[in-house]
Amino acid sequence: MGQRLNRCLDVPVALPPLRRRLLLLFIMLFLWLYMFYSCAGSCAGLTARGSPAPPRAAPPLPPLLPGDPGEESSLEEQRAAPDAGSPLSSFFNGSGTKRLPQAIIIGVKKGGTRALLEFLRVHPDVRAVGAEPHFFDRNYERGLAWYRELMPKTLEGQITMEKTPSYFVTKEAPARISSMSKGTKLIVVVRDPVTRAISDYTQTLSKKPDIPTFESLTFKNRTTGLIDTSWSAIQIGIYAKHLENWLLYFPIGQILFVSGERLISDPAGELGRVQDFLGLKRIITDKHFYFNKTKGFPCLKKAEGSSKPHCLGKTKGRTHPDIDQEVVQRLRDFYRPFNMKFYQMTGQDFGWD
């Protein structure tokens, strides 16, 4: 009987007892892993009584509004799955807990927030929802339970994140986030406000080709040179004004300011600062990036859950229209005092002047 069993297992009769035990242990471990992997998705759907529970779908995100001033991502990015299905992500889908975010990228639009989020998601201890929830500006009445359901599941020691750039310019957002958790860590990606405004206009132009020129939208009166600060593309770049509102609810040390320019020129350096700020081990380094000359910004050698290089979509890195240099200079003069105040408030000189 024993000989037959050994033949079936293709194990020599003369196999030493120690090696035989190790082989059996390996087989048992393999079977356990197989059962665990199979159960990760299906067993999570069972109730305590053992009967199948109906799948609990994440609540729908708000409708996508292509012309919305607060929109940062393209429609393609907004519709992307929050956690594109890598084998590892699929394996852990049945485990972990949905938590409210401990860190939020709150701004700014066209500053580089999508790039920062995609870079951060390479870190094994960062889990982030891909689409912008817009909870603290558009969907607050839906409640925190709705917001939590949007978040990916995390294991102990992992950080839950989201990014919605319009929070930075939303008056109610600081109080609402503070009400959720006073300890929330905030990240703001900032960029030369003049370049940011042109980038903002370029994005709108790609969707509405018949809009007025950048020059005509910039001024209330071109002759007098009076800047129209009611235009969102201009208003967003007055960073010092918006920051004052946030400092009513959060200490400056709880807000990290990331340079959009350095995120392009030295992504690993800026990501090092972000990882330190979040209390994470510095895992994302130079080895994760390569510079794409065609797009003009860094790309990931391997994206989360993929073995292939990954660059941001075609909506990023658009060619800016030619803007009258006199208008550009007037904007630089307009922003200069606000930039100086912002440097003082943050303790950082971003070199925009």
The string of pLDDT tens digits covering residues 174-227 is: 999 999 999 999 999 999 999 999 999 999 999 999 999 999 999 998 888 899
What does the mean pLDDT of the chain come to?
A: 82
Distances (CA, A) of 190 to 127, 140, 295: 23, 25, 20
Length, in residues, of the chain: 353
Nearest to 110 by CA among 202, 9, 248, 238: 202
Is residue 191 marked as binding?
A: yes
* H or E segment and range at residue 215: helix 214-218
Q: Is 110 an active-site residue?
A: yes
Is residue 316 marked as binding?
A: yes
Most confident of 15-29, 32-46, 204-218, 294-308: 204-218
Q: How far is residue 144's CA from residue 75's CA, in Å, rounded to a whole number?
A: 25
Is residue 204 marked as binding?
A: no
Is residue 94 marked as binding?
A: no
The string of pLDDT tens digits covering residues 280-309 is: 999 999 999 988 877 777 999 866 555 566
- Please name the amino acid found at residue 50: G
Is residue 138 marked as binding?
A: no
Q: How far is residue 201's CA from residue 208's CA, in Å, rounded to a whole number?
A: 10
Nearest to 72 by CA among 168, 169, 200: 200
239-246 helix and 325-346 helix, angle to the nearest 10 degrees: 30
Q: Could you tell me where the DSSP H helices lie in 79-181? A: 87-92, 113-120, 144-150, 173-180
Is residue 130 marked as binding?
A: no
Query: Quick check: 53 pLDDT over 70?
Result: no
Query: Quick check: 47 pLDDT over 50?
Result: no
In the chain, % helix, strand, coil (3-state, to 5) comes to: 45, 10, 45
Is residue 112 marked as binding?
A: yes
Segment among 27-31, 99-103, 187-191, 315-319 with least mean pLDDT: 315-319
What tokens were used for 127?
């889990």
Q: How far is residue 284's CA from residue 289's CA, in Å, rounded to a whole number?
A: 9
Query: For residues 181 and 249, is the Cβ–Cβ distance under 8 A?
Result: no
The string of pLDDT tens digits covering residues 111-124 is: 999 999 999 999 99
Question: Which pairs with CB-CB distance under 8 Å and at least 24 residues apart come from 225-228?
Answer: 225/330, 227/330, 227/331, 227/334
Nearest to 113 by CA among 101, 125, 105: 105
pTM of the predicted model as reported, rounded to 2 decimal places? 0.75
Q: What mean pLDDT is predicted for residues 221-241?
A: 94
Confidence of residue 136 (pLDDT cuts 50, 70, 90): very high
Higher per-residue confidence, 256 vs 7: 256
What tokens were used for 141?
């009445």
Q: How far is residue 122's CA from residue 300's CA, in Å, rounded to a whole number?
A: 9
Is residue 317 marked as binding?
A: yes
Task: Considering the candidates 110, 153, 163, 185, report the single residue annotated as catalytic.
Answer: 110
